[in-house]
């Protein structure tokens, strides 16, 4: 990937400054133009903030989407569309977040937007349908390349070299062609537990660009580090979604499941954060500390990636140098980033220096993570579930009712109309010629018979 | 009733419109019957969700209903569609064969390819007067040609029904609607690459019959429908009493043009006034082909009886009459099922059934059957090879068996987890059971699924062989049957449903974990 120098950036964004971000940016326009953008920005909100608002806050801290996407470019977005579980379970990317990103990229002037993923565990149609992402893709009208199964068709792929990879087998592997050929690649991962690596964030999410993701499992941790090294598929922007975070409970470390924050608050926690940046290692390191309360070095693939020179693993140093900043929704200036020390309080993300936010509505400070939601209702009450997750309840279809058949019957009316039209052509000729004759009577019901027959068949 | 002779141009135009209308009806029905298949292809190629409909063709099949009845499966009578079809047959004769049946449509579409059969229409001939000054018969019509449609289809029908008592598969093998369903699915699967590469083998085996039907068409028009089709035979039993009739007026000059254009050979050579209603599909071709405009169609209470009765009054066997048609003597048309067909058919069916154990002598390996499938022997006997379950399987994991299961299992579905795992738990609503027209796959609850059991190959598995922390199978398993034990993979046999997600996911070439059918495990 080609790095953009500060000078180039200033020149290029001069004309775009008005388009991306008006209200908040105006106040700090003079300041931002003169300083270095941070490598990683944390956007933080509350339960009242939409995913779009948090994403916008975070991206604005990083210089806006216009810093990455220029008009006329082809943009590849790689969400997590692997799991067929409803929204709100922290299994796949939040549909609202994907919609917000697609809209931002489109407003930045992208010519083509292609959503790319590998749906390995489920049929693509089913995963898209249940996770709610398919609706977003259809409504926004973006292209999608989501091959299913563990081996994508070869014509969709191209060989990509990873010269710095340590495992020899991974120095040249097939990658989805659309991602390689795009101008901009955006990698949007979900912070989740994972069976093998224990946690998965931006680094591991890169596996979804591969033709055969399970091939990496042969040496998974080193392989993850390897595919993040310098290559033609390296993303320009990483987005880590921590609106909801899936936590491991004992041996249950599946990266997807039916649980949501209501039914199983120990597994799915609502944190309302989105981390964006250009350094996936720093993002993952921040995530290790703040979401999973482990040292980044404990997560082997993050450590390997840092050793391979993919990015910076020392979060404290990055914060001190201003390379990692935190923005809160509704506030123009960065908030001091706090990281909890892993040994001090397990499972306690940074809440110590949390300041109240002067947002549009007075939002409560985040509750301690032991009680993850400020909802007073009992967790398993169906009423609470419906209220807090109207989307999850409404959009998750019952199994067996994957698609509404009603619009599809409409298409079947075309051949049915052909049947009726053909029958009426034949019958009209007979009626027309026999109309003046008294023998018309026995002929008349014949048309209705033909039509009734056609109607019967069409109704089935 | 009798249409006046029309101007030639007007009649030609009417014929063209008729043909266009009939083609429209046929193609409309063809598309309707293909529609569930089109939806599946749409879903596979665009990855958009689409509903999975059951076949819109097979529920109309009276032959399948008869198959159910010989199995004393009286519940099948609830599906009224085949009975409705037979009721329409009493009204409209074999209209199903000429206007609806997809095989008939395909045959009508390929017939123009038989260029060597194309002939220019004959010019109308003048009828030479005979000695007594009355118009006689033209020399072109062979008066004593007794070649009629063969009764073979009745043999086939009886044989198929007799064999169906023991094995529905024999019935499904020759049922034209099932043949169409099977071949269309196979073709579409190849065309749309529904991840079923082995279908090419299958296509060469099972769809040979369809190919044969097509080739016979190039030899003789509608050869299958006239001589072999068991469904056509079943329909023609009822079509004898059709209310819709073909009438020939006294304008007939015995030129033989109607016999020439009749694809079904429904007009006797020796007596063009007569009609074989067990063959006539009311395609209306003869009406526009008649150079004298002497043919019309109309309803009447058993009108053919009336026309015959009128004929007996007058000059029997001496040229065309002033009014109506006549029957000189019984033409031998409109075969019924006689003793000969019954005995011969039953014998043939029994002979076919007797061959079944011979088929089982060379048995292949045991196969993974769809969830809820009947026990193996019964499943092979019941499955009619319609490929509906293969079509709707959301992962494409169900595939038709080629030769690996032995001759008796050719075309039956089996699960290939390496292609696609069974998602019966929890996402698939058991589509294969929902679409099965003969209930060879019965709906069961998701936690009852037992397709087979996964077995780890210790010398291939990365965790066993190289102590690599791979665990893809554990990640893929939905019922926590694949577990990590001391860094190795073990399978809990009490939990494993045999869905094959682990086998599908394994990164080892050829997979290090295999789902085995229970017959192989014990």
pLDDT per residue as tens digits for the range B408-425: 888 889 999 988 888 775
Which range in A103-117, B64-78, B177-191, B340-354 is most confidently predicted, on average pLDDT?
A: A103-117
pLDDT digits (tens, 9 = 90+) for A137-162: 999 999 999 988 788 888 889 999 99
> Can you tell me the mean pLDDT for A29-54?
77
Lowest mean pLDDT segment, chosen from B139-143, B261-265, B447-451: B139-143
- Nearest residue, CB atoms, B475 vs list A196, A422, A456: A196
pLDDT, tens only, A185-211: 999 999 999 888 889 999 999 999 998
Residue A334: pLDDT above 50?
yes
Confidence of residue B400 (pLDDT cuts 50, 70, 90): confident
**Residue A33 forms contact with B (CB below 8 Å):** no
pLDDT for position A284 = 94
Query: What's the pLDDT band for B399 if we cut at 50, 70, 90?
Result: confident
Measured distance CA(B304)–CA(B324) in Å, rounded: 11
- CA–CA min distance B117, chain A (Å): 27
Prediction ipTM score: 0.76
What pLDDT is attached to residue A341?
A: 47
CB contact under 8 A, B475 and A433: no
Identify the closest residue of chain A to B422 by CA–CA distance. Answer: A122
Asked which of A53-62, A229-238, B339-348, B410-419 is least confident by mean pLDDT, the reply is B339-348
Averaged over A208-215, what is the pLDDT?
88
Is there a contact between A460 and B59 (Cβ–Cβ < 8 Å)? yes
In whole angstroms, give the CA distance from residue A377 to residue A379. Answer: 6
Nearest Cα neighbor of A263 from A366, A365, A349, A372 is: A372
**Can you give the pLDDT at residue A351?**
36
Tokens matching residue A453: 């027959």
B87: closest chain A residue by CA: A453
Interface of A with B in 384-413 (CB under 8 A): 399-405, 408, 411-412
Q: What are phi and psi of B32, to 5 degrees?
A: -60, -45
* Residue A149 near chain B (CB below 8 Å): yes
A457 touches chain B (CB under 8 A): yes
Answer whether B79 touches A (CB < 8 Å): no
Q: What is the pLDDT of residue B337?
A: 66
Categorise residue A64: left if φ over 0, alpha if ψ from -120 to 50, beta otherwise. left
**Residue B492 binned pLDDT confidence (cut-offs 50, 70, 90):** very high
Shortest distance between the Cα of A54 and any Cα of chain B, in A, equals 30
> Which distant-in-sequence residues (6+ apart) come within 8 Å of B468 by Cβ?
A217, A218, A219, B462
| Structure token pair of residue A81 | 């569309």
Confidence of residue B115 (pLDDT cuts 50, 70, 90): low
> Which residues of chain B lie closer than 8 angstroms to A443, CB-CB?
298-299
List chain B residues with CB under 8 Å of A454.
25, 28
Residue B514 has pLDDT above 80, yes or no: yes
Distance from CA of B181 to the nearest CA of A (A): 16
Rounded to 10 deg, the angle between the B339-361 and B152-166 helix axes is: 50
The answer, yes or no, to whether residue A182 has pLDDT greater than 90, is: yes
- B246 interfacial to chain A (CB closer than 8 Å): no
Residue A431: CB atoms within 10 Å: 15
pLDDT at A369 over 50: no
- Mean pLDDT value of segment B21-50: 87
Tell me what pLDDT residue B368 has. Answer: 93
Region of poorest pLDDT, from A19-33, A218-232, A254-268, B392-406:
A19-33
Residue B385 has pLDDT above 80, yes or no: yes
The pLDDT of residue A433 is 52
Which of B4-8, B424-428, B433-437 comes out lowest in average pLDDT? B4-8
Question: Residue B248: what pLDDT?
Answer: 79
Please tell me which of the candidates A212, A439, A457 has its beta carbon nearest to residue B29: A457
**Confidence class for position A287, pLDDT limits 50, 70, 90:** very high
Distance from CA of B299 to the nearest CA of A (A): 6
The overall average pLDDT reported for chain B is: 78
Q: Quick one: pLDDT at residue B307?
A: 46
Q: Give, in degrees to the nearest 5, the angle at Cα A85 between A79 and A86.
A: 90
Q: Which 8-state DSSP code applies to residue B122?
A: P
Of B32, B300, B428, the CB nearest to A416: B32
Summarize pLDDT for A34-45 with one digit per residue, the tens: 457 899 999 999
Q: Are strands A143-145 and A112-116 parallel, antiparallel or unpaired?
A: parallel
Evaluate if residue A392 carries a pLDDT over 50: no
Separation CA A161–CA A106 (nearest Å):
30
The fraction of chain B above a pLDDT of 90, given in percent, is 16
Contacts of A416 in chain B (CB under 8 A): 28, 32
| CB contact at 8 A, A199 and A288 | yes
Q: Is the per-residue pLDDT at A286 higher than 90? A: yes
Contacts of B84 in chain A (CB under 8 A): 456
Set of chain A residues whose Cβ sits within 8 Å of the Cβ of B42? none
Per-residue pLDDT band for A399 (boundaries 50, 70, 90) equals very low
Q: Which of B14, B100, B427 sits opposite A399 (nearest CB)?
A: B427
Label residue A444 by pLDDT band (50, 70, 90).
very low
């Amino acid at each position: 990937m080609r790095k953009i120098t500060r000078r180039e950036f200033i020149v290029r964004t001069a004309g775009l400054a008005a388009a991306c971000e008006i209200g908040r940016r105006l106040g700090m326009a003079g300041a931002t133009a003169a300083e270095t953008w941070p490598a990683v920005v944390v956007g933080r909100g509350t339960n009242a903030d939409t995913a779009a608002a948090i994403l916008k806050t975070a991206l604005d801290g990083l210089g806006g989407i216009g810093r990455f996407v220029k008009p006329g470019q082809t943009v590849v977005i790689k969400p997590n569309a692997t799991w067929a579980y409803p929204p709100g379970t922290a299994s796949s990317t939040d549909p609202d977040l994907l919609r917000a990103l697609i809209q931002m990229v489109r407003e930045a002037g992208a010519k083509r937007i292609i959503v790319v993923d590998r749906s390995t565990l489920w049929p693509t149609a089913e995963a898209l349908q249940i996770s709610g992402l398919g609706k977003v893709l259809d409504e926004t009208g973006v292209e999608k390349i989501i091959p299913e199964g563990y081996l994508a068709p070869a014509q969709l792929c191209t060989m990509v070299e990873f010269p710095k990879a340590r495992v020899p087998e991974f120095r040249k592997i097939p990658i989805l062609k659309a991602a390689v050929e795009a101008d901009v690649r955006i990698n949007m991962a979900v912070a989740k537990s994972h069976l093998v690596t224990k946690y998965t964030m931006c680094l591991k999410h890169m596996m979804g660009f591969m033709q055969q993701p399970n091939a990496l499992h042969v040496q998974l941790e080193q392989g993850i580090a390897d595919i993040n090294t310098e290559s033609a598929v390296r993303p320009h922007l990483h987005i880590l979604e921590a609106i909801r975070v899936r936590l491991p409970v004992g041996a249950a470390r599946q990266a997807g499941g039916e649980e949501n924050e209501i039914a199983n608050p120990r597994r799915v926690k609502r944190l309302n954060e989105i981390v964006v940046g250009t350094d996936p290692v720093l993002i993952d390191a921040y995530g290790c500390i703040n979401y999973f309360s482990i040292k980044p070095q404990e997560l082997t693939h993050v450590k390997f990636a840092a050793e391979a020179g993919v990015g910076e693993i020392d979060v404290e140093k990055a914060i001190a140098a201003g390379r990692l900043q935190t923005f809160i929704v509704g506030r123009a200036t960065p908030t001091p980033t706090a990281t909890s020390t892993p040994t001090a309080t397990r499972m306690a993300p940074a809440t110590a220096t949390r300041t109240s936010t002067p947002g549009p509505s007075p939002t409560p400070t985040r509750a301690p993570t032991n009680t993850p939601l400020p909802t007073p209702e009992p967790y398993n009450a169906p009423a609470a579930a419906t209220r807090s997750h109207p989307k999850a309840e409404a959009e998750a279809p019952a199994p067996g009712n994957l698609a509404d058949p009603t619009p599809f019957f409409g298409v079947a009316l075309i051949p049915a109309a052909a049947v009726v039209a053909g029958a009426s052509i034949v019958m009209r000729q007979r009626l027309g010629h026999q109309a003046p004759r008294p023998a018309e009577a026995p002929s008349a019901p014949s048309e209705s018979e033909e039509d009734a027959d056609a109607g019967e068949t069409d109704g089935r | 009733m009798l249409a006046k002779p029309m101007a030639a141009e007007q009649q030609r135009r009417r014929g063209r419109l008729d043909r266009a209308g009939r083609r429209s009806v046929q193609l409309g029905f063809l598309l309707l019957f293909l529609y569930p298949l089109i939806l599946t292809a749409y879903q596979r190629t665009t990855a958009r969700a689409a509903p999975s409909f059951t076949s819109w063709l097979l529920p109309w099949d009276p032959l399948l209903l008869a198959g159910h009845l010989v199995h004393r499966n009286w519940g099948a009578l609830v599906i009224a569609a085949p009975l409705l079809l037979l009721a329409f047959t009493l009204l409209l004769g074999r209209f199903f064969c000429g206007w609806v049946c997809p095989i008939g449509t395909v045959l009508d579409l390929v017939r123009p390819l038989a260029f060597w059969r194309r002939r220019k229409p004959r010019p109308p001939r003048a009828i030479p007067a005979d000695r007594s000054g009355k118009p006689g018969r033209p020399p072109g019509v062979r008066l004593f040609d007794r070649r009629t449609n063969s009764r073979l289809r009745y043999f086939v029908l009886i044989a198929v029904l007799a064999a169906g008592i023991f094995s529905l598969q024999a019935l499904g093998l020759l049922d034209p609607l099932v043949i169409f369903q099977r071949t269309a699915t196979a073709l579409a699967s190849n065309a749309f690459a529904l991840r079923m590469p082995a279908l090419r083998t299958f296509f060469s085996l099972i769809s040979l019959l369809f190919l044969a039907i097509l080739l016979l068409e190039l030899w003789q028009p509608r050869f299958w429908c006239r001589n072999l089709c068991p469904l056509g035979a079943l329909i023609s039993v009822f079509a004898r009493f059709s209310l819709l009739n073909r009438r020939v007026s006294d304008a007939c000059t015995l030129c033989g043009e109607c016999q020439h254009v009749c694809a079904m050979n429904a007009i006797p050579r020796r007596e063009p006034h007569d009609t074989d209603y067990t063959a006539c599909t009311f395609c209306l071709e003869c009406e526009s082909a008649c150079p004298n405009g002497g043919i019309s169609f109309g309803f009447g209470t058993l009108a053919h009886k009336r026309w015959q009765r009128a004929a007996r009054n007058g000059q029997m066997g001496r040229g065309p009459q002033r009014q109506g048609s006549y029957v000189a003597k019984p033409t031998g048309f409109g075969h019924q099922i006689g003793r000969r067909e019954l005995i011969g058919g039953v014998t043939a069916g029994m002979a076919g059934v007797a061959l079944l154990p011979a088929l089982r002598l060379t048995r292949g390996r045991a196969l993974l059957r769809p969830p809820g499938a009947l026990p193996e022997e019964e499943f092979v006997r019941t499955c009619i090879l319609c490929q509906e379950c293969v079509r709707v399987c959301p992962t494409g994991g169900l595939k038709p068996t080629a030769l690996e299961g032995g001759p008796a299992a050719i075309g039956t579905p089996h699960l290939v987890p390496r292609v696609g795992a069974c998602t019966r738990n929890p996402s698939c609503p058991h589509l294969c059971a929902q679409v099965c027209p003969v209930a060879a796959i019965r709906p069961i609850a998701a936690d009852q699924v037992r397709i087979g059991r996964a077995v780890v190959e210790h010398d291939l598995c990365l965790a066993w062989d190289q102590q690599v922390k791979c665990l893809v199978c554990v990640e893929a398993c939905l019922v926590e049957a694949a577990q990590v034990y001391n860094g190795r993979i073990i399978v809990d046999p009490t939990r494993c449903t045999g869905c094959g997600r682990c086998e599908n996911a394994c990164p080892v070439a050829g997979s290090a974990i295999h789902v085995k059918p229970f017959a192989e495990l014990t």
